[in-house]
A and B are shown apart, each in its own frame.
Chain A
Amino acid sequence: MKRGVLVLLLLAVAAGVAGAASLGGSASASSGTAKVTNLKVWVGWTSRELSVFKKIVAEYDKKHPEVSISVVGGIDDTKIVSAIRGGNAADVTSSFDSTNVGNYCTSGAWINLKPLLQKDNLSLSLFPKTSVYYTSYKGTQCALPLLADTWGLYYNKALLQKAGIKSPPKTFDELTKDAKKLTQRNKDGSLKVVGFNPTRTFYAENSAVNYGHLFGAKWLDSNGKSNLSKDPGWTKYLKWSKSLIDYYGADKLKRWQAKVGDEFSASNAFETGKLAMQIDGEWRVAFIAAEHPELKYATAPMPVDSGHMGLYGSNNVNGTIIGIPKTTKHKAEAWALVKYLTTNSHPLALFSNGIRNVPTTKASLSSPEIKPDAHFKTFLKIFGNPKNTTFPITAIGSAFGTYFNTFIDKYQAGHASDLAGGLKKVDKQTDAQLKQGGGGVP
């Protein structure tokens, strides 16, 4: 027994000595070379998209021995805000929700990048105007765009051919006609294949912001007040979507929705041929390539209201924002990485190839490194359109539009009949909400 204790003690001493030696070794090694800064990067991407981002960062890491970068994915704004408050946020952080940029900029939670851009002689004209808009607030540029999203029409070529449709629709009237032709029903009257589903709660891309632009609708008037009842575009959009939903039957459409898969899953309705046409972001190109490469499909700009044909080829634009939390202790290193990721065409092109999001500098749109892809090219063209618009950045962040969404759901389901009165009410509610949340728009 005593001998056992002695052996254990000796082992413990040996382990301690070895540990001390290794610590001493690393200390001496580090003192012999340049100091390495550990840089933490937080992003919202997960799984396949995260691994692509990690590869881009690894390339930078390899070229810069002075930094060692660790990337964490699946981060949302709640985590970002909590970490900044706790003083332990990453050195570089990105968000999918650009509507919160107002909070980050006014509070200084994300540092103002304007002085850093000026110091490095970089102009904001590198980026399209819409991207500059959703990365700044009231003159503070606290974020930069890191790839963007825009939306277009995906259509199943085989189904269109079968229905005798030769080209994708360019107006909403044509879309309705084609959607009806493409719809297939089972013997019991239930829906088998849906032509096009504009229900707001069916997949997130059916958000009002992705339709409003196509009807020429504006969210706010010149005084920063809610414009829903005053702008005929919103009424047109709602009437159009309701008429198409009524064609299917709201209940039948809900039953169909319940049996098709989640938006971000391999059983996505379009990918599995249960939906003939859909509005979706450019990223779907990569999802289809990974999940259903056999699908025969094509992309086109979304149809527009026949009274706004000039808008064909443009759409709503938004995207991922990236910035530097004020809590970082490595501002220079963090800025060097942000600058590389957002202004250099090489990482933008590689990242765009990997996750098929739109690269965000004007130069990178025509980078020879971007892999040619007919499906994706449509979105590069849309992104470069000068008529694009984006969601308003207000003091209430992502809460803006909440009450409108509630009304849309009720109206589309047939549970609210007074469209004009309903929109007026939503305007009043939204104005009160803006006032309560600090009011004002930039």
Chain B
Amino acid sequence: MSLTSPATGAGAASAAPAPLVLDRTRAKRKATWRRRGLVLLCMSPWILGFSVFFGYPLVMSAYLSFTHYDLLNPPRWIGLGNYRYMFEDDPQVWPAIKNTLWIIAVGVPLQVLFAFGISMMLSRARRGAGFFRTVFYLPALAPPVAATLGFVYLLNPETGPVNNVLGHLGIQGPLWFHSPSWSKPSLVLLAMWGVGTTMIIFLAAVLDVPKHLYESAQLDGAGWFQRLRWVTLPTMSPVILFAVVIGVIQGLQYFTQAYVAANVAAGQASQAGSNDNTLGYPEDSTLFYPVLLYQHGFRYFNMGYASAMAIVLLGVAFAITLFIILNSRRWVHYGGAVR
């Protein structure tokens, strides 16, 4: 249906009087603005939430990172002072970065492998599959604080059941959370125990692999390992990528477990508001980047410096995620996707 009158037709449009064209343009513009207004109105709850809870804090953090700010006195502009101190003088930043990279480089692959292994086993279970799925998923429901408390108890070098069992076998168990060499592996064990959510996602992906692909591969003479390598893994690769990205981001934000484990193992958990540098116990081996950031921001009230640390963390998280996603093009296969 045309907006112009049938008598005049399209060919006569050029001859139409100017006010009519203007009216039409105005009406179009009005409709466009109305449509935009409606979109904005529908999006307004999200825009409001995003601006208040993400945009504003982000901009403020960026600003505060160039100031000295103790939360009580007004921020004082110091330029790049915080960044210079971070990279040149602060002796805890590099150990904290190393610890964080360690938990990502060792913890994430182990978590992914463990979840993948369990999901493969569960996909083959013929009896009691539902029961085993529940058993392996249950730890993921434990609150991180409770789970960490449980692990510090289990891995107590003297009274913990793990070392007791090892003792009966004639092995002296390690110091676990009390040793700078064993504290991070202990945290990785805790992370592997709570891998239920990733395991469930992997299980869904394993069960989703088309059976005819296995049958074709089998007809071609492919063995178990070749089917895993050339059928299962490529089909599951988008889900593996998802687990890796989420694992890396969680590694960069690793806090609760490290905080609780250090306080409890150091024997200071019962002291409210303890300021006796138990974070990072033992010997700063559990001092992860977010723990150090928290310490500066909320224990030492050095919020300008903590903001600078947060901005660096944002940049690093963005860079690592981008690297993984760009790199994933070589090994992630999207079924039926056209590149």
Further 17 A-B residue pairs, CB within 8 A, beyond A254-B175, A436-B68, A436-B85: A44-B272, A74-B272, A97-B273, A97-B275, A254-B157, A255-B178, A256-B158, A257-B178, A259-B159, A263-B268, A264-B270, A398-B299, A399-B296, A399-B299, A402-B92, A415-B283, A438-B70
Do the beta carbons of B72 and A258 come within 8 Å of each other? no
A410 near B283 with CB under 8 A, answer yes
Known contacts A74-B272, A76-B272, A262-B267, A436 near B178 by CB under 8 Å: no
User: Is A396 a contact partner of B300 (Cβ separation < 8 A)?
Assistant: yes
Q: A84-B72, A399-B302 are in contact. Are A258 and B178 (CB under 8 A)?
A: yes
A432 adjacent to chain B (CB < 8 Å): yes
Across the interface, B301 reaches (CB within 8 A) one of A103, A259, A405, namely: A103
Measured CB to CB, the closest approach of chain B to A81, in angstroms, equals 5
**Residues of chain A contacted by B85 (CB below 8 angstroms):** 432, 436
Tell me the chain A residues, 355-411 only, with Cβ under 8 Å from chain B. Answer: 396-399, 401-403, 405-406, 409-410
Check B73–A396 contact: CB distance below 8 A. no
A302 to chain B, nearest CB (A): 18
Output the least CB separation between A27 and chain B (Å). 38
Number of residues of chain B lying within 8 A (CB) of chain A: 46
Q: What is the CB-to-nearest-CB distance from B167 to chain A, in angstroms, rounded to a whole number?
A: 10
A104, B70: Cα distance in complex, Å: 10
Contact assessment for B283 and A409 in the assembled complex, using a CB-CB cutoff below 8 Å: yes
Interface residues of A in 405-442 (CB under 8 A from B): 405-406, 409-410, 413, 415, 425, 429, 432-433, 436-438
Kindly identify which residue among B158, B266, B305 contacts A259, using a CB–CB cutoff of 8 Å: B158
Contact among B156, B159, B265, B300 with A397 in the assembled complex (CB-CB below 8 Å) = B300
- Chain A residues with Cβ below 8 Å from B305 are 436
Assess the A262–B301 pair: CB atoms within 8 A. Answer: no
A438 contacts which chain B residues (CB < 8 A)?
68, 70
Q: Is A172 an interface residue (CB 8 A)?
A: no
Task: Name the segment of A1-9, A118-126, A202-210, A291-299 touching the other chain.
Answer: A202-210
Nearest-neighbour CB distance to chain B for A94, whole angstroms, equals 12
> Are the C-beta atoms of A107 and B70 separated by less than 8 Å?
yes
Q: Which positions 246-284 of chain B face chain A at CB distance < 8 Å? A: 265-278, 280-284
- Please measure, in the bound complex, the distance between the C-alpha atom of A78 and the C-alpha atom of B300, giving whole angstroms: 9
Knowing A204-B271, A415-B180, say if A397 contacts B301 (CB, 8 Å).
yes
Q: Are B268 and A204 in contact (CB under 8 A)?
A: yes
User: Which B residues are in CB contact (< 8 Å) with A203?
Assistant: 267
Across-interface contacts of A405 in B (CB, < 8 A): 277
Whether B89 and A433, one on each chain, are in contact in the complex, defined by CB atoms closer than 8 angstroms, is yes
A100-B301, A255-B157 known; A436+B81 contact, CB < 8 A: yes
B271 CB contacts on chain A under 8 angstroms: 204, 262-264
Q: How far is the CA of A403 from the CA of B300 in the complex (A)?
A: 13
Tell me whether B71 is interfacial, beta carbon within 8 Å. yes
Complex contact B70–A103 (CB within 8 A): yes
Q: Digit string of A100-116 for contact with B (CB within 8 Å is 1, else 0)? A: 10011011010000000
Give chain B's interface residues, CB within 8 Å of chain A.
68, 70-73, 81-82, 85, 89-92, 156-159, 175, 178-180, 265-278, 280-284, 296, 298-302, 305
The docked-state distance in angstroms from the alpha carbon of A74 to that of B178 is 28
A88 to chain B, nearest CB (A): 15
Indicate if A96 sits at the interface (CB-CB under 8 A): yes
A/B interface sample: 13 pairs, CB < 8 A: A77-B275, A78-B273, A78-B298, A104-B72, A201-B282, A203-B267, A258-B157, A264-B271, A399-B299, A406-B92, A413-B180, A436-B68, A438-B70
Partner of B283, one of A263, A403, A406: A406
- Cα distance A223–B81 in the bound complex, in angstroms: 23
A183 and B282 CA atoms in complex are apart in Å by 25
User: Do A107 and B158 form a contact, CB below 8 Å, given A263-B268, A265-B270?
Assistant: no
Q: Please tell me if the beta carbons of A262 and B157 are within 8 angstroms of each other in the complex.
A: no
Q: Which of B73, B265, B272 is close to A106, meaning CB atoms less than 8 Å apart? A: B73
Q: Whole-angstrom distance from the CB of A197 to the nearest CB of chain B?
A: 12
* Dominant SS among interface residues on chain A: helix
Instruction: Name the CB-closest residue of A to B81.
Output: A436
B220 to chain A, nearest CB (A): 57
* A23 CA to B88 CA, complexed, in Å: 64
Which residues of B sit under 8 angstroms from A100, Cβ to Cβ? 301
Chain A residues with Cβ under 8 A from B267's Cβ?
202-203, 257, 261-263
Distance between Cα atoms of A100 and B268 in the complex (Å): 21
**Interface contact A403-B91, CB-CB below 8 Å:** yes
Q: Which residues of B have CB within 8 Å of A173?
A: none
Known: A85-B72, A107-B70, A255-B157. A429 touches B89 (CB 8 A): yes
Q: Which of A77, A257, A410, A436 has the most CB of B within 10 A?
A: A436
Q: Which chain A residue has the least Cβ–Cβ distance from B95?
A: A406
Is the CB–CB distance between A254 and B89 below 8 Å? Answer: no
Closest to A416 in B: B283
Q: Is the CB of A258 within 8 A of B156?
A: yes
Which residue of the partner chain A has the closest CB to B284?
A406
Contacts of A77 in B (CB 8 A): 273, 275, 301
Residue pair B156, A259 in contact (C-beta under 8 Å): yes
